[in-house]
Amino acid sequence: MLTPIQLILVIITILIIARTIFKWKKKELDTVNLVLWLFFWFCVIVAVLYPPVTTVVANFLGVGRGADAVIYFAFALLFYLIFRVSIRLYKIERDITKIVSRISLGEKRKDE
Amino acid sequence: MLIFVIIPAYNEAGSIGNVIKDIRESVKDFMLRGDRAGVVVVDDGSTDETSRVAKEAGAIVLCHCVNRGQGASLATATKYCLLNNADIIIHFDADGQHDATDIPILVRTLLDGQYDIILGSRFLGRALNIPLFKLITLKIAILFTRLFSGISTTDTHNGIRALTKHAASVIQLTQDRMAHASEIIDEIKRNNLKFKEVGVTIRYTSYASQKGQSIFNAFSIVCDLIGSKIQKILNSKF
């Protein structure tokens, strides 16, 4: 029997999976990222429905409890994603500057 | 010889007119000897009358449609000047802190000593009414630049500089905001440019104080510097 928290987490995860597939269909997500994300959310569903699985993985990795392993993993993943987003943001900032600069020089040329 | 004075300006309608007037006055001697000079203002997404005031004062105005920072504005103006065959480019601030009479001194030092770039230094010249926290932050910035660039200067974050065409074309500015000042020092080292510091006058007027000389503003320079170093490392590795 599912507990309320399991039910909520499974519903949320299924919604996220549906959204991920929708993004892929609209070509806003490439196939490699689709597979990676689907694999990740599938692992989340397994961990939510069968919590002892996390303990097996934790013991294998040398971490005491399953919940600890999940938190360590979540932190590592979050930091990696923040890192990726900041690199992307830096590139976007640079690109905006290039565009703004080109527009201003182009407008000046038109004036002259 | 063609000299361009470039001024990044963000909401500086209150001071830009007088700054341009002073600059035009200070380069008159060069013009009398047959050299040409122009003032290029980059209106960096201002919401006030900066563009109009600058045009009326006789400057060439380039407009950034959104605010991109002082470093980005200098990069845009430099591109414009190089496209228009500039021989010498002067960086100058819009808030009236700099003294336009320093410009001929910078240009003469640049030409006489056959340097690539001349950096203005308030600590070799005069820093009038400098607030204490600004002084402390600037000293930290100097130390920071010395550690990371390996170049010893007396003043890192001074906006007044003179560059030859060669220096302006090899210096690649990637830092859009305040960290461009230490990036210029890095670029001097990377490109083996011959540089010299010259004493200049900086006036901390009440107008400049209103324009954001807060303690947060001062510390943001240091944060920007640290951030830029991390960004550069990340950028080069990934």
What does R_g of chain A's alpha carbons equal in angstroms? Answer: 22
Interchain proximity A101–B68, CB inside 8 Å: yes
Answer whether residue A112 shows pLDDT above 80: no
| B176 in contact with A, Cβ within 8 Å | yes
A66-80 pLDDT per residue, tens:
888 889 989 999 999
Interchain proximity A93–B231, CB inside 8 Å: no
**For the residues of B72-126, what is the DSSP string, one character each?**
HHHHHHHHHHHHTT-SEEEE--SSS-B-TTHHHHHHHHHHHTT-SEEEEEEEEEE
Break chain A into its structural domains and give their ranges.
Answer: 1-50, 67-112
Asked if A53 and A42 count as a contact pair (C-beta separation under 8 A), the reply is no
Count of beta carbons in the 10 Å neighbourhood of residue B96: 19
Question: Higher model confidence: residue A63 or residue B83?
Answer: B83
Average pLDDT over residues B197-202: 92
Answer whether residue B214 shows pLDDT above 70: no
Degrees to nearest 5, angle at CA A13 with A7 and A14: 90
**ipTM of this complex prediction, to 2 decimal places:** 0.82
Asked if B81 and B160 count as a contact pair (C-beta separation under 8 A), the reply is no
Question: Higher model confidence: residue B182 or residue B97?
Answer: B97
Q: Select the residue from B41, B65, B76 to test the A interface by mutation, using most A Cβ atoms within 10 A.
A: B76
d(CA A64, CA B129): 62
* 3-class secondary structure, B132: helix
Answer whether residue B33 shows pLDDT above 90: no
pTM of the model: 0.80
Question: Higher model confidence: residue A39 or residue B141?
Answer: A39
**Residue B25 has what pLDDT?**
93
Contacts of B8 (CB under 8 A, 6+ apart): B42, B44, B70, B73, B74, B77, B93, B94
First vs last Cα of chain B: how many Å apart? 43
d(CA B191, CA B63): 30
